[in-house]
Amino acid sequence: MMAALRTPRGLATVAILLVLAVLPLLTQTFDQRYLLSIGTRIVIWAIAAVSLNMILGYGGLVSFGHAVFFGIGGYAVGILDAHGVSSGWIQWPVGVAMAALWAALVGALSLRTRGVYFIMITLAFAQLLYYVGVGLEAYGADDGLNISRSRFAGLIDMRDKASFYWLCFALLCGTLWFCSRFANSRFGSVIRGAKSNDLRMTALGFPVFRYRLAAFTISGAFGGLAGILLANEGAYISPAMMSWVKSGDLIVIVVLGGMGTLFGPLYGTIAFFVLEESLPPVLNLAQKGWGEYWQIVFGPMLVLIALYARGGIDSLFGRRHG
């Protein structure tokens, strides 16, 4: 363990986690409060990216509808709030449970296919819920809905940005811990083995379909948790939370950071948001009217990483041992 911490990867990871842990204090000290909002989004999206990595990185399942779990978690909070249920003790378990249930239903159908068919089915189900959200006139339809933040009486004030950030950071650490246990367990070994050769794993007696369905359901539950946090971060929900564009962003983040690695999704999320926030002012895109098109620059950078750093940002720290 101590030897791993002395490697460039270990040192970088510890440094990143320490900075994230004290980010509210740093933003207050240097009077850069807006950075706390960016940091909160990074932490929330990192949770979603880690959840996608469980099936994409370790299982080789390219889900192009993962952002739908954002929407399910967010809409669970918003719909319950609209009907007078503001307690987080009710909202959050309902949101996670609904996301897990939807993941189980979608997985039961989509996991019977492979390759591009799996991609298209997950996309189709995600777009189905997206257009359901667009048609929900009672909850803002395409314009979305302003909501009240979840309430945990006597425990945490969700309106306090620093407290909310530390809650999100604690949940990210919990998600990373769970992913670590998942990857190094017998369950995770079966998922990784099925990625390499599912026929051989089946011949060895493992029910690959059930293992993949369980992994897909767990991944959806963590995606729903990220959606709950995202809804509370902005006190707002809309169908855009579950659009295919958001799903594409999550895939890009995982690929950018390093698929099948524990901290790769975190690296990818940080890089993605840092580039999103820094490229427009650095390249003067806003004054040219191109502020929304920063990905024109980001795209070629991603291609270079795919060509010369196929393990993503994680591979830049050197080869893994053990």
DSSP alpha helix (H) spans, the chain? 2-5, 8-21, 23-29, 34-56, 68-82, 88-110, 115-134, 161-183, 186-203, 208-234, 244-257, 264-282, 295-308
Determine the structural domain holding residue 156 and report its residue range: 33-242
Residue 111 in domain: yes
Q: Which residue has the higher pLDDT, 47 or 138?
A: 47
Convert the pLDDT of each residue in 176-215 to its tens digit.
999 999 999 999 999 999 998 888 898 888 999 999 999 9
Total number of domains in the chain = 1
Is residue 48 domain-resident? yes
Percent of the chain having pLDDT more than 90? Answer: 62
For residue range 68-88, what is the model confidence (pLDDT) as tens digits? 999 999 999 999 999 999 999
Q: What percent of the chain has pLDDT over 70?
A: 92
Q: Is residue 17 part of a domain?
A: no
Q: Is residue 179 part of a domain?
A: yes
Q: Is the pLDDT of residue 133 over 50?
A: yes
> Is 115 domain-assigned?
yes
Distance CA 95, CA 260 (A): 27
Measure Cα distances from 244 to 74, 101, 124, 239, 305 in Å: 16, 20, 10, 11, 23
The answer as to whether 214 is a domain residue is yes
pLDDT band for 1, please (50, 70, 90 cuts): very low
